Amino acid sequence: MNRVARLDHAHVWHPFTQMRDWLQRDPIVIVSGKGAVLRDTAGREYLDANSSIWTNLHGHRHPKIDEAIRRQLDRISHSSALGLANEPASLLAAKLIESANRTVPAAGRSGAFSGKRKSRATGALSKVFFSDDGSTAMEVAIKLAHEFARRERGVKRPKFLSLQNAYHGDTLGAASVGHIELFHKSWEGLRFASDVVMAPYCYRCPFNRAKPERADAREYRRCRWECVGKVEEKFASQSRTRQPYAAMVVEPLMQGAAGMIPQPRGWLARVEGIVRGHGAQLIADEVMTGFGRAGEPAIAAEMVPASGEPRGGHKAGAAGCLAVQHEGVRPDFVAVAKGLTGGYLPMAATLTTQEVFDAFLGGYEEFKTFFHGHSYTGNQLGAAAALASLELLESRASQEARRTLENVLREELKSLWALPQVGDIRQVGLMAGVELVRDWRTRAPFDLRERAGMRVTDAMAKRGVLTRPIGNVLVLMPPYCTTPAQARRMVAALRNSVEETFL
């Protein structure tokens, strides 16, 4: 074992890791990276098939982002946002708002379930609160929505609703709106109570009457949108208690840590209609789905009125960066992190509306201030990296590369249907989950103790492809610079590893 590995074993406690298992193995020690490739101390190369836990967008050591950080280093790395402004953070806030407000198709915005009661229109996003990671971005959204409901709607004890198996981070507030029994039960005494509602998980949905097929379960499901009906029921019964929900929290289009669970097209817009109909707010957790991960939303020309200025101050133009834009949904809060800096530095942001901002304005002595902040809020190095990353994202070259990669991935993943242990393959843009089962005909799951996912990813690592499973679900989330040949290698490694594991 080399010196670094020895030091790691002596002192480092790794996240979400059974350290007894960790200490029995030689760790892979990464020393460098370039593009989609990571290199270890022994000179072995690996494809970074989950973009270093979903953070890296454009590949490692991208010259444009490296250069932006170096340029910023020559000026200043950090000064406090408590009492001071700085250029990169101001530019980044403006850029995020501009991108997040781009107009998107409104298809499905007013579905059968959209409420008729105290419907609240939502204004454009206009304010950015910076923090450090996905969990803190969610904490900020939760605190703001809580206080907004108290101040503006007179709700005494605001409650939150989120989805079955939701994961929104590990700080206590973010964990309180999470519903993964395995992770969250340990903190039961510390979390505040929140409500849970059925998530659209077509593959294992009790209302889906379709028999298993060799296709994404969303495509062949037979149901009556009962999952949306459950959301409506929750809101209706909560409203009767005179303590209506302050907000609903969702990961748009795809729930990540829940097991890469995608929503059928139209679910999000229908749910937005319900949330609005009950006068509640919508918190979109785009920590995983943001910055092009969900693919390119089609910006429909017909959405732009003749005046050229879309309603609500939402701007038309190149594709936006958020998953909500795929369904024309406008949240009151959007949390972004992971890919914000292209996967370079820990930085996060919570975007919100003028209406929310205004609820915190007042005379100093009224103490309506948002009493929350982090030491590295608005950090210049992070903001410089993020600006460079956003510029890359909007380049034609990146958009085309992403489209190609998405198609290659879709084509390659089809080969996995030949494996009897592959139950469902679900891809949204550049995020893919492959659910392993005992037998696809019965959908019978592996017991978690069998470590089916981990055994496959260990075998993939031996083939030079790194990713991390979520239980029995294998994840592919390649950096956008991944070449078609590299994408094929990722899928081939997965296929061969499943075959080897279940021989």
| Stretch touching ligand PMP by CB under 6 A, among 59-67, 129-137, 218-226, 495-503 | 129-137
CA distance 409 to 413: 6
Tell which one of 35, 59, 169, 297 touches ligand PMP (CB under 6 A). Answer: 169
CA distance 217 to 264: 9
- CB nearer to ligand PMP: pick between 166 and 274: 166
- CB nearer to ligand PMP: pick between 163 and 288: 288
Closest residue by Cα to residue 101 from 348, 359, 324: 324
| Stretch touching ligand PMP by CB under 6 A, among 120-128, 183-191, 251-259, 418-426 | 251-259
Q: Does residue 257 interact with ligand PMP by CB under 6 A?
A: yes
Q: Which amino acid is at 197?
A: V
Tell which one of 40, 139, 232, 251 touches ligand PMP (CB under 6 A). Answer: 251
CA distance 242 to 230: 19
Tell which one of 256, 259, 279, 297 touches ligand PMP (CB under 6 A). Answer: 256
Q: Does residue 168 interact with ligand PMP by CB under 6 A?
A: yes
Q: Does residue 285 interact with ligand PMP by CB under 6 A?
A: yes
* Shortest reach from residue 137's CB to ligand PMP, in Å: 7
List helix spans (H) across 154-284.
172-176, 181-184, 217-220, 226-239, 267-277
* Buried/exposed 42-56: b ≥16 CB within 10 Å, e otherwise: eeeebbbbbbbbbbb
- CB nearer to ligand PMP: pick between 55 and 239: 55
Q: Does residue 327 interact with ligand PMP by CB under 6 A?
A: no
Here's the x/- map for ligand PMP, 335-374, by CB under 6 A: it reads as: --xx------------------------------------
CA distance 114 to 221: 22
Q: Does residue 331 interact with ligand PMP by CB under 6 A?
A: no
Site for ligand PMP in 137-156 (CB under 6 A): 138
Cα atoms found within 13 Å of the Cα of residue 40, Cβ hemisphere only: 19
The tokens for 426 are 């679900």
Give the distance, in angstroms, between the CA of residue 451 and the centroid of all CA atoms in the same chain. 24
* Cβ atoms of 437 and 444 closer than 8 Å: yes
Q: Does residue 287 interact with ligand PMP by CB under 6 A?
A: yes
CA distance 2 to 177: 42
Q: Does residue 135 interact with ligand PMP by CB under 6 A?
A: yes
Minimal CB distance to ligand PMP: which residue? Answer: 134
Q: Which residues bind ligand PMP (CB under 6 A)?
A: 133-135, 138, 167-169, 251, 256-257, 285, 287-288, 337-338
